[in-house]
């Protein structure tokens, strides 16, 4: 179980804390979604929950990060990285630039840990299979689509064999095909019991994937509960969160009454985004 108790986290040079009074739990096998408007602290939450802040980013954390009861706060980042993986939005900037093939890119973590070749290969094969990109193993990582590249990044994290995976807007820079690719793999990982913490603006991706949803605003968790309850709240759009299509459609149908057609639906849905 990953537990973050954060009284405050402040970036280096900042006067105001980016996170306040956070108590977040991601149980083994659990899938937790994080939603909120821009600048609500979602990415900061990912950085702190993965140990990258203050470990790499710097800043001041009041509180502690625990994984399976062990305190991770203050430990070297390479140790925390073996317990919790962090994936960011832009897949290309997460490539190491040091490898010639997808296989080597995924192998980078185990190689950095100094694992022997047999264990490295075993981990890489398992990670490639988990995200279904075994066929890309000998491709150059720089010549893949955005969705495929994001899967390479996720495979690279899985090769570290973390118990928890944190993904900060994994589909925000992907086209619909890439989004679908990543979404399918996330469902597969969740089905296999990988604990996930996913920040996403696209609530349709979280709907059906997450057990729980955390709502953030101004660096705090302002609401938390089962995904069905939180995402189905009528007032969720007032917090800058687009409800999933099925909720919008259901309300649109309800509002349209008997006269359901493309025109009335567009009016009721507000035209954009389309369900």
Partner 1 sequence: MPARPLTDPTTAGWARALLDNRQFASPIHALNPLTTVVLGGAALALALSLPSLVGAIALVLILAALAVAARSLGRLGRPALTAAAVLGGLIWLISIASGGAALDAARHAAEGALRVASIVLGVGLVATTVVPAALGLDLERRGVSRRFATGAVAGLGWGPGLARRLTAISAAQRARGLRLARDPLTRLRQSAPILLPALVTSLGGLSERTIALEARASGHPGRRSLLWAPPDPTGERLLRWLLLVVVGLSLVVRIAGRAG
Nearer to partner 1, 81 or 213 (CB): 81
Binding of residue 14 to partner 1 (CB under 8 A): no
Of the candidate residues 72, 153, 154, 181, the single one contacting partner 1 (CB under 8 A)? 153
- Residue 174: which of 197, 200, 213 has the closest Cα? 200
Of the candidate residues 76, 225, 270, 273, the single one contacting partner 1 (CB under 8 A)? 76
CB atoms within 10 A of CB 108: 18
The H or E element spanning position 267 is: helix 262-269
Give the nearest distance from C-beta 254 to partner 1 in angstroms. 43
Cβ–Cβ < 8 Å for 216, 34: yes
* Span between the terminal Cα atoms of the chain, in Å: 35
3-state secondary structure of 165: strand
Sign of CA dihedral 80, 82, 85, 90: positive
Structure tokens at 156: 């690279």
Binding of residue 38 to partner 1 (CB under 8 A): no
Of the candidate residues 117, 177, 222, 237, the single one contacting partner 1 (CB under 8 A)? 117
Give the nearest distance from C-beta 177 to partner 1 in angstroms. 21
Nearer to partner 1, 92 or 249 (CB): 92
Binding of residue 129 to partner 1 (CB under 8 A): no
Binding of residue 225 to partner 1 (CB under 8 A): no
In the block, residue with structure tokens 């994937």? 209
Phi and psi at residue 98, to the nearest 5°: -115, 5
Residues with Cβ < 8 Å from 245, sequence gap 6 or more? 204, 275
Phi and psi at residue 149, to the nearest 5°: -65, -40
The residue count for binding partner 1 (CB under 8 A) is: 48
Binding of residue 50 to partner 1 (CB under 8 A): yes
Q: How are beta strands 195-199 and 19-26 bridged, if at all?
A: unpaired
Of the candidate residues 18, 81, 131, 209, the single one contacting partner 1 (CB under 8 A)? 81
Stretch that binds partner 1, among 20-28, 66-74, 149-157, 262-270 (CB under 8 A): 149-157
- Residue 225: which of 243, 207, 212 has the closest Cα? 212
Of the candidate residues 113, 126, 245, 253, the single one contacting partner 1 (CB under 8 A)? 113
Binding of residue 109 to partner 1 (CB under 8 A): yes
CB atoms within 10 A of CB 13: 7
Binding of residue 241 to partner 1 (CB under 8 A): no
Of the candidate residues 6, 52, 72, 151, the single one contacting partner 1 (CB under 8 A)? 52
Binding of residue 100 to partner 1 (CB under 8 A): yes
Residues near partner 1 (CB under 8 A) are: 47, 50, 52, 55-57, 76-78, 81-82, 85-88, 90, 93-101, 103-104, 107-118, 120-122, 138, 153, 156-157, 159-160
């Amino acid at each position: 179980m990953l537990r973050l108790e954060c009284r405050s986290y402040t970036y280096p040079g900042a006067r105001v804390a980016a996170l306040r009074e956070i108590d977040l739990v991601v149980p083994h096998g659990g899938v937790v979604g994080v939603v909120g408007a821009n600048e609500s602290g979602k990415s900061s939450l990912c950085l702190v929950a993965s140990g990258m802040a203050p470990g790499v980013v710097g800043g001041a954390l009041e509180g502690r990060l625990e994984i399976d009861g062990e305190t991770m706060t203050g430990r070297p980042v390479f140790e925390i990285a073996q317990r919790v993986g962090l994936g960011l939005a832009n897949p290309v900037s997460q490539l190491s630039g040091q490898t010639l093939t997808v296989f080597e890119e995924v192998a980078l973590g185990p190689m950095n840990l100094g694992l022997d070749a047999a264990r490295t290969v075993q981990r890489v094969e398992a990670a490639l299979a988990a995200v279904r990109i075994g066929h890309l193993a000998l491709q150059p990582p720089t010549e893949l689509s955005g969705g495929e590249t994001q899967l390479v990044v996720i495979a690279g994290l899985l090769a570290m064999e973390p118990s928890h995976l944190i993904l900060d807007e994994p589909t925000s820079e992907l086209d619909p095909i890439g989004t679908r690719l990543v979404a399918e793999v996330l469902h597969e990982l969740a089905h296999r019991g990988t604990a996930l913490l996913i920040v996403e603006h696209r609530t349709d991706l979280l709907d059906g994937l997450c057990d729980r949803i955390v709502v953030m605003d101004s660096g705090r968790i302002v609401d938390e509960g089962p995904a069905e309850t939180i995402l189905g709240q009528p007032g969720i759009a007032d917090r800058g969160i687009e409800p999933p299509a099925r909720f919008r459609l259901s309300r649109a149908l309800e509002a349209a009454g008997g006269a359901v057609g493309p025109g009335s639906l567009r009016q009721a849905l507000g035209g954009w985004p389309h369900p």
